[in-house]
Amino acid sequence: MNATSVSEYLEADHRRLDRLLTETVESAAAGKLDQAARAFETFHEGIEKHIEVEERLLFPFFDDANGAFGPTEVMRAEHASILQSAAEISLRLAGNDVGYCLEELDALARLLSAHNLKEERVLYPATERVLESLGRHQEVLQRMQATL
């Protein structure tokens, strides 16, 4: 992808992860558990990398400019919940517990929707402004592209 901004790049990754989650739900609901498990494995790997990029490459700039408390603290707590939920779903998919998985996938999708909205409307634009002011925008974007 040829993103020109950090926001654009991360938002596109949100959409990619959303599609994988939707594929997981549709496959599980259709009883195609192997396909659901493969889609979710790709999602799980992707969300781990996405969160790592945000916490390692993006949040430090926001924190340096605004303090380590507040938005990034909330995002980190939500990240922990997202990763915990994803790990539990992975285990349940491996055990063919479809009913539980569908409920948890729905809860995860709702959590991600609210979480992504906060990142896209508040955190990414604010961090982008910090990066621009420091002249580090292109460097961080390139590092993100090399990681995700």
| Domain containing residue 140: CATH number | 1.20.120.520
Give the structural domain span for 64.
Answer: 6-147
Q: How confident is the model at residue 1 (pLDDT cuts 50, 70, 90)?
A: low
DSSP H helices, 54-95, are 59-66, 71-94
Q: Whose CA is closest to 50, among 22, 86, 24?
A: 86
Inside any domain, residue 1? no
Q: How many domains does the chain have?
A: 1
pLDDT at residue 96, as a whole number? 82
- Answer whether residue 119 is part of any domain: yes
| 113 pLDDT tier (thresholds 50, 70, 90) | very high
Any domain includes 67: yes
pTM of the model: 0.93
Segment 31-66, tens digit of pLDDT: 999 999 999 999 999 999 999 999 999 999 999 988
Is residue 83 situated within a structural domain?
Answer: yes
